[in-house]
């Protein structure tokens, strides 16, 4: 029986495994060099947390959390920026394990809430978030400024 994944902080040497997962999330290939620069910079940022899920020595899941101080909130707020599980490991509660890890960080920072933006087409993900305590209260609008969005 599947016992769950190991959830731990991502390491700088794991950029390729995380890159593969983010390409899967976005369903496209991104420039690896630019990705690596952002990954290394963000890993060193105390307001950003990167966690991976590991099964049998393989990284099969990733979540990122950014903590911000915003004028219109009286306490820090946390935002899940990326969450993805390898297709063959979905629906095994590994997403919940990763969410639990960032919830703990958010509580340690005494955040007021955790938010997430999710593309309208991700209906499975919406069900996942709502089952795990997220409430759909806001509408997100985007103004595309280039072809890469």
Ligand X SMILES: CC(C)(COP(=O)(O)OP(=O)(O)OC[C@H]1O[C@@H](n2cnc3c(N)ncnc32)[C@H](O)[C@@H]1OP(=O)(O)O)[C@@H](O)C(=O)NCCC(=O)NCCS
Judge residue 76's burial from the number of C-beta atoms within 10 Å of its C-beta, 0-12 exposed, 13-18 middle, 19 or more buried. Answer: middle
> Shortest approach of ligand X to residue 56 CB, angstroms?
16
Size of the site for ligand X (CB under 6 A): 19
Among 6, 32, 47, 96, binds ligand X (CB under 6 A): 96
Options 40-48, 81-89, 102-110, 140-148: segment touching ligand X (CB under 6 A):
81-89
Site string for ligand X, 23-62 (x = CB under 6 A): --x-------------------------------------
Check: CB of residue 17 under 8 Å from CB of residue 39: no
CA geometry: angle at 49 spanning 64 and 69, to 5°? 95
| Residue 107 binding ligand X, by CB under 6 A | no
| Residue 66 binding ligand X, by CB under 6 A | no
Among 93, 109, 112, 134, binds ligand X (CB under 6 A): 93
Options 28-36, 83-91, 102-110, 139-147: segment touching ligand X (CB under 6 A):
83-91
Check: CB of residue 99 under 8 Å from CB of residue 88: no
What string of DSSP letters covers 104-140? HHHHHTT-S-EEE---TT-HHHHHHHHHTT-------
| Residue 10 binding ligand X, by CB under 6 A | no
Q: What's the Cα-to-Cα distance from 23 to each of 8, 31, 47, 103, rounded to whole Å? A: 21, 10, 24, 25
Rounded CA gap, 103 and 83, in Å?
13
> Shortest approach of ligand X to residue 71 CB, angstroms?
25
| Residue 118 binding ligand X, by CB under 6 A | yes
């Amino acid at each position: 029986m599947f016992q769950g994944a190991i959830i731990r902080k991502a390491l700088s040497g794991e950029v390729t495994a995380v890159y593969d997962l983010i390409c899967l999330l976005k369903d496209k290939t991104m420039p690896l060099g630019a990705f690596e620069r952002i990954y290394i910079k963000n890993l060193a940022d105390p307001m950003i947390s990167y966690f991976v899920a590991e099964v049998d020595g393989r990284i099969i899941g990733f979540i990122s959390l950014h903590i911000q101080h915003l004028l219109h909130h009286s306490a820090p707020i946390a935002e899940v920026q990326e969450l993805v599980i390898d297709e063959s490991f979905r629906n095994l509660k590994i997403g919940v394990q990763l969410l639990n890890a960032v919830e703990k960080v958010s509580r340690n920072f005494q955040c007021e809430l955790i938010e997430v933006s999710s593309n309208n087409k991700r209906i499975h993900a919406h069900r996942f978030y709502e089952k795990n305590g997220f409430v759909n209260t806001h509408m997100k609008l985007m103004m595309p400024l280039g072809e890469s969005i």
